[in-house]
C-alpha cells in the first residue's frame, strides 16, 4: 500500500494506492497518518481510493478509526471513488449511513466548501 | 355395495346390507343347490367304492384326480370361448343328465363303473364349485365378501346337510330315487344361475372380469386357456404361494381321507351309503353352525393370519390322535374336522387370499389352481400312498400320519408367508401417498429463497441499503443464482443496483467467471462478518443506532427496517444486537417483521418473550413462528409452558403447538401428547396436527403407545358424541348438512376422523394409515374396500371395533345405533 498526501483548499487529501490489508502494513498506517494531520490542526480529510485494488476488514477498521478520531475532534472525514464492491460492503454494514462517500473527488471537495 | 335399484324386501340377513340382498340370496341358493347333490353323489361314491373295491384300492381312485384335472383344463378352454352364463347353465344341465344316467348304469355295476362314477362326481364338484367361487369373486369386493362369506357359505353347508340327511333316510329304501334326486337339485339351480348372471351387480359398479385396460403379465399372451393360466401362476410369486398351499391341502386331504376310510371300512357294519349319508349330514351341521356363528366372527376377530393357522392346528391334533389310536371316533373326528373346516374357515381364508389379485389374473389362477392343481395334488397324494404301500416293512397307517404332520408343518410356513404377502398386495392396491401439504411445499418450493427474492425486489423502491442487505442475504444462503442475477441486471436503469455494477454479471460468461463470482461472494461474506466484529465498527454504529432509533417519523421507518435486517447479520453476542429488542416491539409491522427474522437468525434467549408475544399478532404470527422454529429445541420448554397455560390466548397456544410441531424432537412429542389429554376442543386439532408433523418428519421419535391409545379412545368418543349430538334421530343436522357420509368424509365431522388417523399414524406405519385414509376419502367402492382391508389387517381388534363403525358404509340409522352402542360399552382399547 502506498499513501500520498496533498492539500487543496485547506483539505488534506490522501491518495491511497494498492491494497489495504492486515498483511501489508506500511511504516505508518492510514489511521496514524490521519491522526498526525488532525494533531497538526487539519480537520478536513478526504480519502481518495481511486487506485485501491482491495480493502479487507483491517482496512475498513483503519477507515473507521480515522473517522472516529476526526469526528471526536470536530473534524470531517470523507471518502471518494471507492470500488463498487467496497461500496456494497459499506451498504451491507450500513456504514453508508455514517460515512460520507462520493463518486468523484471534486464533488467531495465541494461538499467540504458548502459546510 | 350400493345400488340405485329397488329390490324386493328381504328380512334382515346376517351381514347383508341393503342393496346386497338379491345377489347374496341368489348365491346362497346357488351354493345350496350344488352342494346338496354333491353330498348325495359323494356318499354313494364312497360307499360303492369301498363295497366293490375296498380301501386298499383307494389310492387308485385318488390317482384319477389327474383325469379330473384334464377335464377341468378342457373346461377352462371352453370358458374362454363361451359366455359365463352359458358355461354355468350347460354345466348344470350336463351334470344333471349324466347323474341320472349313472343312476341306471351303476345298477349294471362292475368295478370300472364305480371308478368312472368316482371320477365323474369329482369332476362335477370341482367344476361347479370353481364356477361358484368365480361368481362370488366377481360380484363382491374383499370387504363385502368377508362380511357375506358366512351367510353365503352357510347355503352350501345347508345343501350338504340336506343332501346327507336325504341320503341317510332314503338310500336303503330308494337307492335309485336318491340318485335322481341329485339330478333334480342340479336342474333347480338353473333358474338361480340365470337370475344371478343377469343382475348380479348394480349397474355402473360392475367389476369387470377381465378389464380391457389391465396389463398382461410379462410373457403372458392375451389368449386365455390352460397354458396361459399356468404361466400366470408361474410368473407371480404370490400365486405360486397359493398354489403351494392348495397342493399341500390336497396331499393332506388325501392322507386324511385314506386314514379315516380305512378305519371306517374296518369298523362300520351295515349300509355304508347310509353311514356316509349320516356322516356327511352330521359334519355339515357342525360346519353350518361354525359357518353361521363363527367364520365371519373369526375372520373379523383374528384376521387372515390367525385364520390360516386355525385349520392346520386342529388337523394336527386329530392326525396325531388317529395315528396313535385308530378307532372309529377319532377317524370320524379327523375326517369331520378336515371337511368341516375345509368348507368353512379354510375355504373362506383361501378365497379371501384371492381377492387382492387383479380380476384377470384371478380368473386364470383359479382355473389353474382350484380346478387343476387341486386335482393334481390328489393324484400326488395317491402316488405317495402307493409308494408307502409298496414298502411292506413300513407301517402304512402310521407312516401316512407322519407324512401328514410333515405336510402340516410346511403348510403353516406357507400360510404365514401368504398372509404377509396378502397385506403387502392390499397396500399396493391403495393408490397414492398422503403427504402433508406443508411438507409437500417444503419439498418442492424453497419458500425462504422465494421470500428473500421478493423482499429483494421490493426493497429496490425503499432503500439501497435494504436492497444490499437482501442481496447479501441471498449470497449468504448461496442462492444468488444466475436467474436472480439476470433478473436484477435486466433493469439497467435502476441506479441503486447499477451502483453494484458489473459485480454480479460475470455469472453469465461461463464456468470460470462463475467460479470467480463464487470467490467474490465468499470474500464478501467474510469481509462483512469481520467488519461487524470490529470494535471500531461497534463504536461507530452505536452512536448511529442511538440517533436513528430515536426518530419515529415515516422516513425513519425504512431506516429502522434496515437496522432490523442488518442486526441479524451481526455476531449474536455483539452489544449492538441488543437494539433488536426495541425493534421487536416497534409500532411498524414492517420493522417487526425484519426484527423477527433477525431474532430467529440470532436465536438469543433474551428475545424469546418478545417473539412469543408476536404469536398473537394476526399479521406477524407467521414470522414469529418461523423465528421460534429457528431457535430449535432450546425454545421447546417455553412453548410447552405456553401450551399448558390456560391464561394464554387460545391463538397463541395454537401457534405454540404449531411451532413445536415444526421444531420436533422427543421432548416436543411427549409434551404435546401429554397436553392433548387436557386440551380444550379448539386446541386439539392444532396439537394433533403438530404431532402428525413430528411423526411425518422422523421415524426416530417414539410415541407412548398407551397414551396414544387413550387419546384415540377419547377421539373416537368425541366423534360419536359429536355425530349423535347433531343428528339425534337421523333426520337432524347431519342430514341437513348434506348427508352423514359427507359429514364424516369432508363435512363437519371430517376433522374428528382426520384426528383419528393422525393418532393412528403415531403408532402404526404412517404411510399405510394415510394411504388408507386417502383411499377412504375418495369414497369409491373399490378404494374404500381396499383401504378398510388394509386397516383390518394392520390394526388391533379393539381399534377396528371403534374405527369401523365410522368408516364402514352404513345407513344413518345403523351408524347412530353403532355409535350409541360404542359409547355405552365401557371396554378399553388395549392393543
Residue B729: the pLDDT is: 53
Q: Where are the alpha helices (DSSP H) in chain A?
A: 30-39, 57-72, 84-92, 105-114
Q: Which of B503, B534, B548 sits opposite A85 (nearest CB)?
A: B503
Residue A14: the pLDDT is: 94
Residue boundaries of the structural domains of chain A: 2-114
Residue B758: the pLDDT is: 93
Q: How far is CA B228 from CA B68, B76, B217, B222, B242, in A?
A: 19, 10, 10, 8, 17
Mean pLDDT within A27-50 = 91
Distance, in angstroms, between A69 CA and closest chain B CA? 11
Burial of B433 (0-12, 13-18, 19+ CB in 10 A): exposed
pLDDT digit string, tens, across residues B745-773: 666 667 888 899 999 999 998 888 888 88
Q: Where in chain B is CATH 1.25.10? A: 444-643
- Note whether B464 contacts A91, CB cutoff 8 Å: yes
Q: How far is CA B487 from CA A91, B117, B459, B480, B505, in A?
A: 21, 89, 14, 11, 11
pTM of the model: 0.63
* Of residues B284, B253, B258, B242, the one with CA closest to residue B370: B242
Residue B203: the pLDDT is: 38
Residue B782: the pLDDT is: 74
Contact (CB, 8 A) for B178 and B819? no
CATH of domain A2-114: 3.30.750.24
Element (H, E) at A24: none
Residue B442: the pLDDT is: 65
Contact of A115 with chain B, judged by CB distance below 8 Å, is answered with: no
Contact (CB, 8 A) for B276 and B46? yes
Residues on chain B bordering chain A, Cβ-to-Cβ distance under 8 angstroms: 464-465, 467-469, 471-472, 499-503, 520, 524, 526-528, 530-534, 536-537, 539-541, 544, 548, 559, 562-563, 566, 569
Residue B490: the pLDDT is: 66
Rounded to an integer, what distance in angstroms lies between the CA atom of residue B776 and that of residue B793? 15
* Of residues B743, B768, B752, B765, the one with CA closest to residue B803: B752
The larger pLDDT score, comparing residue B228 to residue A72, is at A72
Contact (CB, 8 A) for B167 and B272? no
The number of C-beta contacts closer than 8 angstroms across A and B is 85
Mean pLDDT by 10 residues, chain B (831 residues): 42 68 87 88 84 82 79 74 80 88 76 84 84 80 74 83 84 74 83 74 38 37 64 88 88 88 80 80 76 63 69 84 83 82 69 76 81 81 87 80 89 84 77 63 68 79 85 83 73 52 51 60 84 92 86 69 93 92 91 94 92 90 92 92 90 92 93 90 91 89 92 90 70 48 66 90 90 82 80 85 85 83 65 35
Three-state DSSP class for B531?
helix
Contact of A9 with chain B, judged by CB distance below 8 Å, is answered with: no
Residue B636: the pLDDT is: 93
Rounded to an integer, what distance in angstroms lies between the CA atom of residue A28 and that of residue B367? 101
The neighbouring-strand residues paired with A19 are A54
Element (H, E) at A48: strand A44-55
* Of residues B337, B338, B334, B341, the one with CA closest to residue B295: B341
Q: Where in chain B is CATH 1.20.1250.20? A: 21-202+223-429
* Of residues B115, B114, B61, B111, the one with CA closest to residue B254: B61
Q: Which of A84, A93, A98 sits opposite B531 (nearest CB)?
A: A93
Distance, in angstroms, between B547 CA and closest chain A CA? 11
Rounded to an integer, what distance in angstroms lies between the CA atom of residue B314 and that of residue B291? 16
| Kind of pairing between the strands at A44-55 and A11-20 | parallel
Q: How far is CA B620 from CA B559, B593, B798, in A?
A: 20, 7, 45
| Range 62-81 of A in CB contact (< 8 A) with B | 64-65, 67-68
How many other β-carbons are positioned within 10 Å of the β-carbon of residue A52? 20
Q: In this structure, which topology does domain B21-202+223-429 adopt according to CATH?
A: Growth Hormone; Chain: A; (1.20.1250)
Contact (CB, 8 A) for B311 and B353? no
CATH number of the domain at B444-643, out of 1.10.10, 3.30.300, 1.25.10, 1.10.3470? Answer: 1.25.10
User: What sign results for the dihedral spanned by CA atoms B187, B351, B123, B168?
Assistant: negative
With cell 389368449, the residue in question is B223
Q: Is the pLDDT of residue A15 over 90?
A: yes
* Of residues B99, B123, B97, B92, the one with CA closest to residue B29: B92
Nearest CA in chain A to B523: A56
With cell 379327523, the residue in question is B334
Residue B9: the pLDDT is: 47
Q: ipTM higher than 0.90?
A: yes
Contact (CB, 8 A) for B14 and B150? yes
Contact (CB, 8 A) for B383 and B400? no
Residue B126: the pLDDT is: 80
Residue B204: the pLDDT is: 38
Residue A64: the pLDDT is: 94
On average, the pLDDT of chain A sits at 89
Q: Which of B501, B537, B569 sits opposite A84 (nearest CB)?
A: B501
Element (H, E) at B618: none
Distance, in angstroms, between B549 CA and closest chain A CA? 13
User: What sign results for the dihedral spanned by CA atoms B283, B285, B288, B290?
Assistant: negative
Rounded to an integer, what distance in angstroms lies between the CA atom of residue B107 and that of residue B284? 28
Residue B564: the pLDDT is: 93
Rounded to an integer, what distance in angstroms lies between the CA atom of residue B245 and that of residue B230? 16
Which grid cell is B372? 387343476
Amino acid at each position: 500500500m502506498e499513501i500520498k498526501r496533498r492539500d487543496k483548499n485547506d483539505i488534506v487529501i490522501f491518495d491511497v494506492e494498492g491494497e489495504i490489508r492486515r498483511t501489508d502494513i506500511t511504516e505508518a498506517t492510514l489511521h496514524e497518518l490521519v491522526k498526525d494531520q488532525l494533531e497538526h490542526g487539519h480537520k478536513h480529510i478526504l480519502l481518495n481510493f481511486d487506485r485501491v485494488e482491495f480493502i479487507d476488514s483491517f482496512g475498513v477498521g483503519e477507515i473507521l478509526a480515522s473517522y472516529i478520531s476526526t469526528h471526536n475532534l470536530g473534524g470531517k472525514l470523507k471518502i471518494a471513488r471507492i470500488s463498487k464492491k467496497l461500496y456494497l460492503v459499506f451498504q451491507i454494514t450500513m456504514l453508508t449511513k455514517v460515512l460520507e462517500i462520493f463518486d468523484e473527488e471534486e464533488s467531495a471537495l465541494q461538499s467540504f466548501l458548502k459546510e | 355395495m350400493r345400488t340405485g335399484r329397488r329390490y324386493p324386501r328381504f328380512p334382515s340377513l346376517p351381514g347383508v346390507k341393503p342393496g346386497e340382498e338379491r345377489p347374496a340370496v341368489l348365491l346362497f341358493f346357488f351354493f345350496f343347490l350344488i352342494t346338496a347333490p354333491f353330498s348325495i353323489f359323494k356318499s354313494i361314491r364312497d360307499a360303492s367304492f369301498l363295497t366293490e373295491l375296498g380301501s386298499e384300492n383307494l389310492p387308485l381312485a385318488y390317482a384319477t384326480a389327474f383325469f379330473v384335472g384334464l377335464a377341468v383344463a378342457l373346461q377352462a378352454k371352453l370358458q374362454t370361448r363361451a359366455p359365463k352364463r352359458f358355461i354355468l347353465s350347460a354345466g348344470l344341465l350336463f351334470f344333471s343328465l349324466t347323474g341320472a344316467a349313472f343312476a341306471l348304469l351303476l345298477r349294471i355295476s362292475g368295478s370300472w363303473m364305480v371308478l368312472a362314477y368316482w371320477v365323474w362326481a369329482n369332476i362335477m364338484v370341482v367344476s361347479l364349485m370353481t364356477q361358484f367361487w368365480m361368481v362370488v369373486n366377481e360380484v363382491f369386493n374383499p370387504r363385502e365378501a368377508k362380511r357375506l362369506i358366512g351367510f353365503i357359505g352357510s347355503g352350501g353347508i345347508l345343501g350338504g346337510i340336506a343332501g346327507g340327511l336325504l341320503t341317510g333316510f332314503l338310500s336303503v329304501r330308494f337307492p335309485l330315487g336318491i340318485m335322481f334326486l341329485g339330478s333334480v337339485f342340479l336342474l333347480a339351480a338353473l333358474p338361480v344361475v340365470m337370475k344371478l348372471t343377469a343382475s348380479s351387480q348394480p349397474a355402473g359398479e360392475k367389476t369387470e372380469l377381465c378389464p380391457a385396460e389391465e396389463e398382461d403379465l410379462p410373457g403372458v399372451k392375451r389368449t386365455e386357456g390352460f397354458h396361459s393360466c399356468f404361466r400366470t401362476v408361474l410368473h407371480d410369486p404370490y400365486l405360486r404361494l397359493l398354489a403351494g398351499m392348495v397342493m399341500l391341502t390336497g396331499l393332506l386331504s388325501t392322507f386324511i381321507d385314506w386314514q379315516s376310510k380305512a378305519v371306517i371300512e374296518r369298523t362300520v357294519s351295515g349300509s355304508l351309503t347310509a353311514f356316509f349319508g349320516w356322516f356327511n349330514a352330521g359334519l355339515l351341521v357342525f360346519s353350518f353352525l361354525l359357518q353361521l356363528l363363527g367364520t365371519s366372527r373369526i375372520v373379523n376377530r383374528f384376521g387372515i393370519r390367525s385364520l390360516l393357522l386355525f385349520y392346520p392346528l386342529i388337523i394336527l391334533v386329530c392326525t396325531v390322535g388317529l395315528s396313535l389310536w385308530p378307532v372309529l371316533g377319532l377317524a370320524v373326528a379327523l375326517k369331520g374336522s378336515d371337511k368341516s373346516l375345509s368348507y368353512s374357515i379354510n375355504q373362506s381364508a383361501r378365497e379371501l387370499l384371492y381377492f387382492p389379485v387383479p380380476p384377470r389374473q384371478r380368473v386364470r389362477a383359479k382355473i389353474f389352481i382350484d380346478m387343476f392343481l387341486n386335482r393334481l395334488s390328489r393324484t400326488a397324494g395317491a402316488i405317495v400312498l402307493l409308494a408307502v404301500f409298496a414298502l411292506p416293512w413300513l407301517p402304512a397307517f402310521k407312516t401316512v400320519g407322519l407324512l401328514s404332520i410333515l405336510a402340516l408343518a410346511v403348510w403353516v410356513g406357507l400360510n404365514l408367508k401368504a398372509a404377509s404377502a396378502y397385506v403387502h398386495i392390499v397396500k399396493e392396491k391403495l393408490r397414492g401417498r398422503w403427504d402433508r401439504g406443508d411438507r409437500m411445499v417444503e419439498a418442492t418450493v424453497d419458500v425462504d429463497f422465494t421470500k428473500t427474492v421478493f423482499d429483494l425486489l421490493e426493497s429496490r423502491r425503499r432503500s439501497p441499503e435494504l436492497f444490499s442487505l437482501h442481496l447479501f442475504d441471498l449470497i449468504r444462503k448461496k442462492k444468488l443464482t444466475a436467474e436472480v442475477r439476470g433478473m436484477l441486471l435486466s433493469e439497467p436503469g435502476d441506479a441503486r443496483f447499477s451502483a453494484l455494477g458489473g459485480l454480479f454479471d460475470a455469472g453469465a460468461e461461463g464456468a470460470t467467471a462463475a467460479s470467480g463470482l463464487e470467490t467474490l461472494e465468499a470474500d464478501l461474506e467474510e469481509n462483512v462478518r469481520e467488519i461487524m466484529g470490529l470494535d471500531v465498527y461497534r463504536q461507530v454504529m452505536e452512536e448511529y443506532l442511538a440517533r436513528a432509533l430515536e426518530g419515529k417519523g415515516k422516513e425513519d421507518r425504512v431506516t429502522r427496517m434496515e437496522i432490523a435486517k442488518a442486526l441479524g447479520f451481526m455476531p449474536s453476542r455483539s452489544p449492538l444486537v441488543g437494539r433488536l429488542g426495541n425493534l421487536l416491539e416497534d409500532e411498524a409491522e414492517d420493522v417487526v417483521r425484519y426484527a423477527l427474522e433477525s431474532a430467529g437468525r440470532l436465536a438469543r434467549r433474551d428475545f424469546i418473550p418478545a417473539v412469543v408475544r408476536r404469536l398473537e399478532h394476526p399479521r406477524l404470527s407467521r414470522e414469529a413462528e418461523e423465528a421460534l422454529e429457528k431457535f430449535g429445541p432450546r425454545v421447546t420448554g417455553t412453548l410447552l409452558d405456553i401450551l399448558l397455560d390456560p391464561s394464554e390466548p387460545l391463538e397463541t397456544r395454537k401457534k405454540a403447538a404449531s411451532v413445536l410441531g415444526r421444531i420436533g424432537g422427543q421432548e416436543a412429542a411427549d409434551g404435546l401428547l401429554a397436553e392433548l389429554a387436557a386440551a380444550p376442543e379448539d386446541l386439539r386439532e392444532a396439537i394433533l396436527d403438530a404431532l402428525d408433523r413430528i411423526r411425518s418428519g422422523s421415524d426416530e421419535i417414539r410415541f407412548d403407545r398407551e397414551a396414544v391409545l387413550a387419546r384415540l379412545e377419547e377421539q373416537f368418543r368425541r366423534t360419536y358424541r359429536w355425530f349423535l349430538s347433531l343428528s339425534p334421530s337421523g333426520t337432524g343436522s347431519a342430514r341437513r348438512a348434506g348427508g352423514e357420509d359427507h359429514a364424516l368424509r369432508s363435512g363437519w365431522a371430517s376433522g374428528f376422523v382426520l384426528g383419528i388417523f393422525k393418532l393412528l399414524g403415531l403408532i402404526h406405519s404412517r404411510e399405510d394409515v394415510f394411504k388408507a385414509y386417502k383411499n377412504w376419502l375418495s369414497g369409491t367402492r373399490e378404494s374404500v374396500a381396499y383401504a378398510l382391508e388394509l386397516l383390518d389387517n394392520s390394526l388391533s381388534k379393539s381399534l377396528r371395533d371403534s374405527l369401523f363403525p365410522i368408516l364402514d358404509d352404513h345407513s344413518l340409522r345403523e351408524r347412530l345405533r353403532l355409535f350409541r352402542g360404542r359409547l355405552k360399552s365401557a371396554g378399553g382399547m388395549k392393543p
